[in-house]
Amino acid sequence: GLNNELTHEQFFEVMIEAYPSYAGEGMSLAQLFESFDTDQSGTIDFKEFTVGMSRLTRGTLQEKLELMFEVYDVDGDGTISVSEL
């Protein structure tokens, strides 16, 4: 059957094709992947992808800020340190 989940590599390919400005942003894409992968399965399913993309592209300012905070708070401690930027 079809595998309806994206691996890291597939996610990077999709995002770089849709948003070429991400091409040199490997770390940001890795962090964005982790933020989209809400069940921490190592893959992104259709629901995770659509919810993540909605927050990224159509969310309220608050939702976009929360997503960006999740992306840059690499260690998940609720703060963004200089080393995480």
Give the residue from 37, 2, 32, 3 showing the smallest Cα distance to 15.
32
Query: Dihedral (C-alpha) 68, 25, 6, 19: value to the nearest 10 degrees?
Result: 80
Determine if the pTM surpasses 0.85.
Answer: no
pLDDT: which is higher, 44 or 84: 44
Position 81 pLDDT exceeds 90: no
Position 2 pLDDT exceeds 70: no
Query: What pLDDT does 27 receive?
Result: 63
Classify residue 54 as exposed, middle or buried by CB count within 10 Å of its CB (0-12, 13-18, 19+).
exposed
Which position has the token pair 């989940």? 5
pLDDT in tens, 5-61: 999 999 999 988 888 887 776 668 888 899 899 999 999 999 999 999 888 888 788
